[in-house]
Structure 1
């Protein structure tokens, strides 16, 4: 898949607005700024649970992807501004005070697993439920969610990380299913998952190699890679998962 120029994409992609969910995270914030800098959208909505301040044309709105009432409220705010040509779900959880990636099945905690699924799987599904209807039924638009290579079943050679792997695998299936449904009502909408690689964020900090190791990106670098992928997407790519370098991730 070859990325095209920003100018050609702007002519094709310009609808009105873009939305980034999880905009307070490292990747989400960098993506929000990169999308705003592209001048492809009139307004870029930065949605997150935590308040953030970014310059115009970025507007902040609160959202909690684990609460459908919150998702609905955020949808209403963005809908008032017009149609949405791009939605990126950049929220996600790998670890927390009571959540740790499992090294063995014996340590699996059902409550922690449910929390991981609520953010990584159900959350993006709720976002799709409420935001896809705001996307144009004609003309190119994109719905993307951050996935992970560890969600690939074929690529799983190390085991472990049960909740996180399963939540991303389930997300990939939701995106595939959404792509099929969206093709009937929004035939030019592209639905994809994005694997950002290893990025210097709080999510990856306990597990990544040395920060200066090859293949470890700053959030801004990651955002530029993902922008290239988004700009190069074709309708035939809908339902697939792509890594930061544009290469497909096996199912």
Structure 2
């Protein structure tokens, strides 16, 4: 990623405790031009690798994305140190959790599970977009990217299933699209995008990797490098769009 300009200095990685989020934290800290990385995590026991990183530029903050008060508290802590964020990545998402598994057919649908998908994958992200807005009201180029999924594309849906996950990611895509329109007025230098990372070797994808060809199962480092390359090429006209890991545009 090209971080040689003065604009990409301060980053916020939401969901930096593990998986792709942790990869973003490491990738940005490996870049000397990044002055500060704020990384959030939900549970101490799942953030041991993040908390073990010894780098003075890293600030770790505990936060549950489904709790707006916690999001606001984190943003206020960041505001106490800086007036600008130049790079925000939301990598929080849920596909399976305890007994919760993606629905293979209608007979597995239940309201509680559907609400959980939307709470984490959609509503939480929207609360973040709301709270982080003041830190993107500046004159430097900034990126707000959220990790979505190709299965959230309505136009690309050919095989069905995974009702809650698909629908919550489709809602996330609508939220990023709609927020981008408002941000053009309030944060004109911010570029907002939804990103499909491809199948990445993380805890989220682990139960579903058996039928994935080796060449299509990406390491976290590869996924992060690919997504950073996509982000680096973004133009203001790309704000509100949905991109795959290879830079191609995905249908809504």
Name the TM-score class by shorter chain: over 0.9
In structure 2, stretches of 5+ residues that fail to align are 45-49
Query: Which of 16, 24, 31 lines up with 1:23 in the alignment?
Result: 16
Q: Which of residues 6, 11, 14 is equivalent to 2:5?
A: 11
Match of 1:95, SS?
coil
Query: 1:31 touches 1:223 (CA, 8 Å); kept in 2?
Result: yes
2:109 corresponds to 1:100: no
Q: Residues 198 and 244 of structure 2 are in contact (CA less than 8 Å); yes or no, is this contact kept in structure 1? A: yes
Please state how far the C-alpha of 1:44 moved relative to its aligned partner.
Answer: 0.3
In the alignment, is residue 247 of structure 1 matched against residue 240 of structure 2? no
CA distance in 1: counterparts of 2:236 and 2:148, whole angstroms: 19
Q: Is the 8 A contact 1:137 1:185 kept in 2?
A: no
**Separation in structure 2 between the aligned mates of residue 40 and residue 153 of structure 1, nearest angstrom:** 39
Alpha-carbon distance in structure 1 between the residues aligned to 2:22 and 2:29? 11
Mapping of 1:129-148 within 5 angstroms? 129-148=130-149
Spell out, residue by residue over 1:129-156, the C-alpha distance to the aligned partner (whole angstroms, 9 max, x if none): 1012111332210101000000000000
Counterpart CA distance in 1 for 2:248 and 2:236 is 16
TM-score relative to the length of structure 1? 0.93
Aligned residue pairs: how many? Answer: 244
Residue 197 (structure 1) aligned with residue 198 (structure 2) = yes
Deviation at 1:188, TM superposition (A): 1.5
Q: Which residue of the partner structure matches residue 59 of structure 2?
A: 59
Q: Distance in 2 between matches of 1:88 and 1:31?
A: 8
1:28-47 deviations in Å (ceiling 9; x for gaps):
10111111212332100111
Contact 1:13 / 1:40 at 8 angstroms: preserved in 2?
no
Relative to structure 1, is the Cα distance of residues 156 and 12 closer, same or farther in structure 2, using a 3 angstrom cutoff?
farther
| Structure 1 unpaired stretches of 5+ | none
Q: Distance in 1 between matches of 2:147 and 2:19?
A: 12
- SS state of the match for residue 214, structure 2? coil
Map of 1:79 onto structure 2:
79
Inter-partner Cα distance in structure 2 for 1:207 and 1:160: 14
The reply on whether 1:233 has 2:215 as its aligned counterpart is no
Q: Is the 8 A contact 1:18 1:44 kept in 2?
A: yes
Question: What secondary structure does 1:222 align onto?
Answer: helix
What is the CA RMSD across the aligned residues, in angstroms?
Answer: 1.4
Cα shift readout 1:128-184 (whole Å, capped 9, x = no counterpart):
110121113322101010000000000000100000000000000000001000000
1:49 alignment counterpart? 42
Partner secondary structure for residue 208 of structure 2: coil
Q: CA deviation at 1:117?
A: 0.7
1:72-117 per-position Cα deviation (integer Å, ceiling 9, x unaligned): 1111111112111111000100011131101111210110111111
TM-score normalised by length of structure 2: 0.93
